[in-house]
């Protein structure tokens, strides 16, 4: 099943400098994630402006229908973070519940989890 990586493209980390940078850190990370996920059929990406985690950017959310969803933050906008996020999303896509055993987590996502959201109940559960 497909998992989505929702990327905040307006995140600016503390060292962002309007005098020298024309793109936000979120835009940089989004471009790197999109490149890392290119050609994959199990992962889709989208950009949004603000996930309300502005104090600890860069932020992404990992979501899939009927699965646990996660937000992760405090990423540097670099290729290493992008690959770790995509690798984690692939494991999320493989998982029936969205839960990925800790021992399988890519090193680059460890310490970056911010929230976990249980899936909404189905109509038959309400």
Residues at the interface with ligand FES (CB under 6 A): 8, 10-11, 26, 50-54, 57, 59
End-to-end Cα distance, the chain: 24
Are residues 12 and 64 in contact, defined by beta-carbon separation less than 8 angstroms? no
Query: Minimum Å distance from CB 98 to ligand FES?
Result: 21
Q: Which is nearer to ligand FES, 16 or 105 (CB)?
A: 16
Q: Which is nearer to ligand FES, 60 or 93 (CB)?
A: 60
d(CA 109, CA 105): 7
* Closest C-alpha to 8, from 72, 64, 83: 72
Give the residue carrying structure tokens 């860069």: 58
Q: Which is nearer to ligand FES, 77 or 98 (CB)?
A: 77
Q: Which is nearer to ligand FES, 71 or 93 (CB)?
A: 71
Query: Minimum Å distance from CB 10 to ligand FES?
Result: 4
Tokens of 72: 């992760």
Query: Minimum Å distance from CB 75 to ligand FES?
Result: 11
């Amino acid at each position: 099943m497909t998992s989505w990586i929702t990327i905040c493209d307006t995140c600016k980390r503390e060292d962002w400098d309007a005098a020298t940078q024309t793109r936000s850190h979120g835009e940089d990370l989004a471009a790197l994630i999109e490149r890392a996920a290119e050609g994959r059929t199990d992962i889709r990406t989208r950009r949004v402006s603000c996930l309300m985690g502005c104090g600890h950017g860069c932020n992404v959310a990992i979501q899939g229908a009927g699965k646990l969803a996660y937000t992760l933050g405090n990423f540097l906008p670099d290729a290493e973070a992008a690959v770790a996020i995509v690798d984690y999303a692939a494991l999320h896509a493989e998982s029936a519940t969205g839960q990925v055993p800790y021992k399988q987590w890519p090193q680059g996502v460890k310490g970056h989890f911010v929230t976990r959201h249980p899936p909404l109940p189905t109509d038959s559960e309400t």
